[in-house]
Structure formats: C-alpha cells, structure tokens
Structure 1
Amino acid sequence: MTSSPGSLRLNPWLARFMLLAAAAAWGAGYTFEKISLRQIEVQWIMGVRLVIAVAVMTPLMWSKLKRAHLLDMLVPGLALGVTYWAAFILQMEGLRTIGPGRNSFLTATYCVLVPFLVWIVTRKRPAWRNFAAALLCVVGVGLISLSPDDSARLVLSAGDLLTLAGAVFYGANIVLAGALAKKFDATILTYYELLVAGVLFVGGAFLTEPAPPLSALHPQTFGAMAYLVLVSTLIAQNLQNAAFSQVPAAQGSLILCTESLFGMAVSVLALGEELTGAHLAGFAIIFVAIVVSEARISGHRKSKTTRDR
C-alpha cells in the first residue's frame, strides 16, 4: 500500500513558493559549507548532516513510518537516495579540478535536462516554453557564475564531464521526486531519501576520507553544521519533495535554479563579494525564464480541459 501524498493539499502557488524557499536555503548554504569545509571533508559533512536529520525525523514521524510499508518505500527511497548521492559526489569530484563558477554553471544545466527527462519518463513532451525557459535559465546562471576565464574555455575537461554527469543525476532526482511525490507521502519519501544517501556518504567517508579532527568542534563549524542539518536538509528537502506533488518537474527545476541567485546574494552580503552588471543581468534573465515557464498560451486548450492536470 502506498502512502498518499496528501492529507496535505497544497495550493500550486504555495508549492512554488516552497520551492523558492528551498532554493534560498540551499543558496545560503554555500557559505556555511565553505565554513564547514575548513575543518571537515565533503563526505563527512554530508554523512553527518543527513544522519542527524534522519535521527531528528525518526521520533517525529514514528507513527507515519509504522503505517508505511517498508517494501513499498524501498525502491522509491533507493532511487531518490542514490541519485541524490551520485549527483553530489560527481559534482564535488568535478570541483576538484575546475573553478566553482564553472562547476556551478555546468551543474545548472540540469534545468535543460529536466524537460527531456520528463519526456523520456512520461512519454509526454513538455510545452516548448519549458525548453525555452530552461535555456534562458542556464544563460542567467552563466552570467552569475562564470568569470571571463571560465567562459573563454570551450574544451571540456575531465572535471567538466564529471560535473555534467552530476547534473544528469540532479535532473533525474528532480524528475523522480516529481513523479513519486504524486504517489507517496512527501515526508516519508524525504526520510528514506536522506537515510539511503546518508548511509552511502558515511560509508564513502570511512573508506576514502580522514576522520574529522577534534578542532572541528569549533563553535563556528558547529553553527555552520547546525544550519546545514536544520535548514539545508530537514526544511529544504521536505519543502522540495512536498512541493513537487503540485508543481511539474520542468517548471520546478527552474525555480530551484534560483539557488545560484541566492548563493550570490548571500556571498555579497556576508563575504563582501562584488556585485557586477553581469550578475544583475543574470538575475533578470532567470526571472524572465521563470515567467516564461509559467506562461499559458490560451486558445488551443480551451476545448480540451478544465481538468488537464
């Protein structure tokens, strides 16, 4: 028996706002990740934050977890957890050899991939506006992320290819979340996604990375990890999975791309990074992309449905 997505019926516009809030949480999280990375390796950061998040969710959701059949949730949980883990690992491996701006830009190509992945999975071609909006979004992210040196290099390196592979898995994770959130309870999905990914990250950390030193207990690192657990993981991931019960994946992926906008804004405010004309143009183009994705061309579809969705 599947867990229903919805004792909770979300207004579609509230769901869009939830995705925007998730993107803001993840964008701000870049600053806290930088602080944590001074003391702790990547997989340890991810493993610790996901395992703590699962530990917090378990008592709060115990009655729900008992009602949900483990075998029903096993495949959805594995699919979401493995794609989440693979996307992050590939992106981080790519980051070892390319700059953060180029890495961020190439990761954002999942905006373009999602409409195609939706088409493959559902056999329904998304509207042309979704493809146009996705391309606009990638241009906007490029203006925000890329330095002149990054954009001048056109030949793809091994780091670029790893990052692009990560983008494919991010896209797959979004499409899966969009499909599964319509069939299963979003909080249960999030629980198993974090559990599976957390186990993979902790296993990878033990096998490939040194254990965090005692100096990692520094108050600044502790505060950064607290943000990553509570806001970037517990709140943002639940917001995303719940929102996808109402927002099509192709549109939702564009809203999530505003993560780069929020990341830049927090960097400007907290770290004093310079805001340029290219950044402002990128913000404007991302906004236009979201408006385009939400536009409805009236005419054809009148006869067709009041209840197409």
Structure 2
Amino acid sequence: MTRMRADLLLMAVSIIWGTAFIAQKHANEAMGPISFVGARFLVSWVALAPLAFYEHSKKAQPPLRKEDLGLAGLIGLCLFVASALQQSGLVTTTATNGGFLTALYVIFVPFIVWIITGAKPRLVVLTAIVVCVAGAWLLTEQGHFQGLTAGDALVLIADIAWAAGISLVPVFLARADRPFFLAFAQYGLAAVCGVVAGLSFEPLSQEGLAMAFPAILYAGVCSGGIAFTLQIFAQKYTPPAEAALIMSLESVFAALSGAALLAERLTGPAILGCVLILLGVVLVEAGPAMRKVQLRSYLRKLA
C-alpha cells in the first residue's frame, strides 16, 4: 500500500467517525455511556472474529510474543479509556465544547511519539497542528467556548488516551504485522471492560437497549469494525502525527453531518474553521510530496 492510499483510508475513517458522533449522542439518551461502549465494541469484536481467525491461520505468521500481547492489551485499554471518557463526557458537555476538545488529541500525538521513540516532531507537523486547532476553535459557536462542565474535563482526558493509542499502533505493527489481531484484541478488551463496568454501575433496560440498538450497530460495525480497523492498516504507512491530523477531519465531517441530518446551521466562522482544518491536512501532506519531488530532482542530476 502506498502512503497516498493509506492517507485516503484515514480520510474515510474521519468520515465514518464524524457521522458516528450523531449516533453516540443518540445512544446516551437511551442507555448508560459505559454500557454503550461495551455493547458497541462487542459488535466490533464479533465482526472482526472471522478476519482475525483467517490471519491467525496463515502458516507464515510467526507466533506472538508475550510483549506483543501486552502491547496489544495496552492499546485496547487506551481504546476503552478514551471511548468511555468521551462517551461519558458527551452526557454533560455541549456539542460546541465537545467538538473542539475532541480535536485537541492532535496536539498530544507528536509529543507522545517523541517520548516513545525519541523522534522529534517536524516543524511542518507542528504548524499544521496549530492551523487545525484554530480551525476546530472556529467550528465552535462562532469561536465562543460555553460554560465548562465535568464532561469537558472527561473529553480532554480522553484525548490523551486517544493520542496514546494512535502512537502505539505503529509500534505494535513494527513488532508483529498482525493488524486484524490487534483490532480483534482491542475490541475484545474494550467490550469486556465496558460490559462489566456498565452492568456494575449503570441501569440497563430492554427498552433502552432496543432504542439504542441502531446506534450500537452503526458504531459497532462502521465506526468500530470498519473505521478503527482501517486506521490500524493505514498507520503502517502513515506516521502517527500525520495520521492524527488527517483523522482530525472528523470534526469537519461531524459539522457537515450535523448540518445535513440535524438541520444545524454552519456559520461563516465554522466554514472558515473547516477550511483551516483542510489546510492543516494539506500542509502535512505536502511534506512527503515535496520530498519525493526533491528526490527525483536529485536523481535526475546524478543521471
């Protein structure tokens, strides 16, 4: 797979996640947030089981080591913590605050990668991050942050867990080229944690479960089974910081889907915010393209 195809996969991921925001808000009206997280990833786990089994059955695959299993478990824990905190935060935070705060995970990724690998973030990446965050700010209600709630803090803490998971995925793939196993393992861990915690601390009724079922199915199959798995595949070819910036388009597609499905009005500043986020993604994409041009020019001179 080329870098360009991987980036296009990440853009598809951002589209799915952006539209899933509506399903997540709807689910909170019918059932507890942690129970919803457990249910959605249970669906994702079942959906990935055949592909994980097929991958495991390949004779050429080397066996997984204990450290590989431990790393997959850590990534799964990041997924559960991030999803649970974000979903819980959506109960009390406004869409205005939640949309902006969720986009802030792009800030943490390059620095977590720096801590893990020692690779310093490139200037173009840091510039693109500033542009994207400015765009996310304008996607709020004319750039005005509404009153802070406990939900805002949960969404912000979730950003750290999202960033940690994104940063660790390529580390796992470098050790063990088992993307379906990683997806299957993290969905299973998130499902078990969510179901156990949800049944322990949240009320659950058959009526509420039935009301939330369409949201569970969409989040489980599309947002989880498809989007998170595509993210893992794409991150084998796209560095974490750049991947996070491309996936920050989620906020743009969330705004567009809100306008299309919920009749929400996109203000002038919000449209400018969408443009800035797109500009940030273009900036980070321009880096590899420029390096290819320079390399070709250098090779021609040598010839």
TM range (shorter): 0.7 to 0.9
Give me the identity figure in percent: 27
Among candidates 166, 170, 188, match of residue 174 of structure 1: 166
Quick one: structure 1 residues 215 and 179, their matched pair in 2 at CA, closer, same or farther if it must change by over 3 Å?
Answer: closer
Partner of 1:61: 52
Partner of 2:113: 118
Quick one: structure 1 residues 56 and 90, their matched pair in 2 at CA, closer, same or farther if it must change by over 3 Å?
Answer: closer
Letter in 2 for 1:261: V
Partner of 2:72: 77
Matched, 1:247 2:238: yes
Among candidates 186, 196, 200, match of residue 189 of structure 2: 196
> Within 5 Å, which residues of 2 pair with 1:135-154?
135-146=130-141, 149-150=144-145
The answer to whether the Cα contact below 8 Å between 2:43 and 2:217 also exists between their aligned partners in 1 is no
TM-score by length of 1: 0.85
Quick one: structure 1 residues 80 and 133, their matched pair in 2 at CA, closer, same or farther if it must change by over 3 Å?
Answer: same
**What is the deviation of 1:38?**
2.5
Give distance in 1, aligned partners of 2:28 and 2:65: 35
Partner of 1:260: 251
Give distance in 1, aligned partners of 2:272 and 2:210: 41
Give distance in 2, aligned partners of 1:226 and 1:58: 16
Letter in 2 for 1:199: V
**What is the deviation of 1:228?**
1.5
The answer for unaligned runs of 5 or more in structure 2 is none
**What is the deviation of 1:123?**
0.8
Among candidates 201, 209, 217, match of residue 216 of structure 1: 209
Q: Report the RMSD for the aligned CA atoms in angstroms.
A: 2.5
Q: Deviations over 1:224-245 (max 9, x none)?
A: 3222121111110110000000
**What is the deviation of 1:294?**
2.0
**What is the deviation of 1:57?**
2.1
Quick one: structure 1 residues 124 and 205, their matched pair in 2 at CA, closer, same or farther if it must change by over 3 Å?
Answer: same
Give distance in 2, aligned partners of 1:31 and 1:103: 12
Greater shift, 271-280 or 205-214, is seen at: 205-214
Deviating runs (4+, > 4 A) in structure 1?
146-149, 156-159
**What is the deviation of 1:69?**
3.3
SS at 2:174's partner residue? coil
Q: Deviations over 1:206-258 (max 9, x none)?
A: 1111113335325xx43332221211111101100000000011100001101
The answer to whether the Cα contact below 8 Å between 1:84 and 1:197 also exists between their aligned partners in 2 is yes
**What is the deviation of 1:90?**
2.6
Greater shift, 25-34 or 89-98, is seen at: 89-98
Q: Deviations over 1:137-194 (max 9, x none)?
A: 111111113455416x6xx765444332211111111101132233332111111111
Give distance in 1, aligned partners of 2:237 and 2:205: 40
The answer to whether the Cα contact below 8 Å between 1:174 and 1:253 also exists between their aligned partners in 2 is yes
Size of the aligned set, in residue pairs, is 290
Give distance in 1, aligned partners of 2:115 and 2:265: 41
Question: Normalized per residue, which structure has more helix?
Answer: 2
Partner of 1:272: 263
Partner of 1:43: 34
Give distance in 2, aligned partners of 1:247 and 1:65: 25
Quick one: structure 1 residues 51 and 210, their matched pair in 2 at CA, closer, same or farther if it must change by over 3 Å?
Answer: same
Q: Deviations over 1:106-148 (max 9, x none)?
A: 2211111111111111111121010110111111111113455
The answer to whether the Cα contact below 8 Å between 2:143 and 2:269 also exists between their aligned partners in 1 is no
SS at 1:120's partner residue? helix
Give distance in 2, aligned partners of 1:199 and 1:106: 27
**What is the deviation of 1:298?**
5.7
Partner of 1:7: none
The answer for unaligned runs of 5 or more in structure 1 is 1-9
Partner of 2:179: 186
